[in-house]
Amino acid sequence: MQTPHYIGIIPARYASSRFPGKPLVEILGKTMIRRVVEQALQSKLLQRVIVATDDARIEAEVRSFGGEVVMTSMEHPSGTDRCAEVIRLLGDAVPADAVVINIQGDEPFIDPGQIDVLCRCFDDQAVELGTLLRRFSHGEDVLNPNMIKVVRDVNGYGLYFSRLPIPFERDATQGSLPDLTAHFQHIGLYGYRANTLLKIAQLPPSFLELTEKLEQLRWIENGYRIMTALSEHESWSVDTPEDLKKMQSRFV
């Protein structure tokens, strides 16, 4: 079986509402976007890593350390849409069997092994979309709506993603915390076959997506299946200046 051509795309916009200019902040001597690119390049399976941005300052930074960058339009509601624009712009330069890995631009210490685990989902030719999950560990707040939960079927495909702790434990003692071993946390790393990416980027927002504010529900609601793979690594993202301070102290 032939291995697909894997392309990593890192959406990076300047105008973050909670942390403007986030890709250019310095973390232990390097900009965040540089650290994400360098981590992605350590993947054993990615043949190409591209930064997709809407800002000339980010473009200049990526070019300064020899990275590949594509300028995209500013009007994108999600990283998925920005990845789709890159594939459209590249046109015939994208191999027919390409798989796109959408790498979060605010995870400067992403483990390259996570990327490879996601890539391996596409060894199965039937898989069109993929993502990662991990088991909640002791002491984690499974009730936190910002920690997305997922349930999956016996074949590993995601059945539903929610901000609520699913599955609901009917027989749990009232007031007790859910059994963490029964819950999976979604890790926001996505993979798509290139032709599927272009299709889902054309779908209008769906009811479930708008209700939970989770874009992957649009795909499920339209009949697409999302393969999930288990990862042992935690994700450390930077959403606010406070997150940056915590991360710098953690990795010093």
Of the pLDDT bands very low, low, confident and very high (cuts 50, 70, 90), residue 76 is: confident
User: What percentage of residues in the chain have a pLDDT greater than 90?
Assistant: 66
pLDDT tens sequence across 209-232:
999 999 999 999 999 999 999 998
Residue with tokens 């990862």: 231
Question: What is the tally of structural domains in the chain?
Answer: 1
For residue 141, give the CATH number of its domain: 3.90.550.10
Mean pLDDT confidence for 168-186: 70
pTM of the predicted model, to two decimals? 0.91
Which among 169, 189, 193, 163 has a CA at the least distance from the CA of 99?
Answer: 193
Would you say residue 174 has pLDDT above 60?
no
- The predicted structure's pLDDT at residue 216: 97
pLDDT tens sequence across 81-131:
999 999 999 999 999 899 999 999 888 899 999 999 999 999 999 999 999
Mean pLDDT confidence for 5-28: 87
Check: CB of residue 86 under 8 Å from CB of residue 72: yes
199 Cβ partners below 8 Å, 6+ apart?
none
Partner residues linked to 158 by β-bridges: 152
Would you say residue 196 has pLDDT above 90?
yes
Domain encompassing residue 186: 5-251
**Angstrom distance (rounded) from CA 236 to CA 233:** 10
Would you say residue 175 has pLDDT above 60?
no
